[in-house]
Amino acid sequence: MAKTTNITKYTCDRCHGSAYLTDGDPRTSSDWHQITHTTADGVTQEALACTSCQQEFKKFAATQDAVWAAWLTEGKD
Ligand SMILES: [Zn+2]
């Protein structure tokens, strides 16, 4: 029976979907994404996301970007 080594299990921190991929498999970067979020206290949090959840995160982050930009300019006249 064939034996494959160097396999990593990827699990999405949001939906818990997972995959077993060998080192060097292009899906390790095309299907899995390390995302970051900075809390109100300035703490950077990281999570691993599948592509679907990463797309949802980007929508969420875009709304936060808009709020940030509005907040940053509202104090100026
Ligand atoms: Zn997911």
H helix count then E strand count, the chain: 2, 4
pTM: 0.84
The domains of the chain are located at 7-69
Q: What is the pLDDT tens value at each position of the chain, 77 positions in all?
A: 699 899 999 999 999 999 999 999 999 999 999 999 999 999 999 999 999 999 999 999 999 999 999 999 998 76
- Identify the burial level of 10 via C-beta atoms within 10 angstroms of its C-beta, where 0-12 means exposed, 13-18 middle and 19 or more buried: middle
How remote is the CA of residue 73 from the centroid of ligand 1, in Å?
A: 34
Residues with CB under 5 A from ligand 1 (ion): 12, 14-15, 17, 50, 53
User: So what's the pLDDT on residue 41?
Assistant: 97
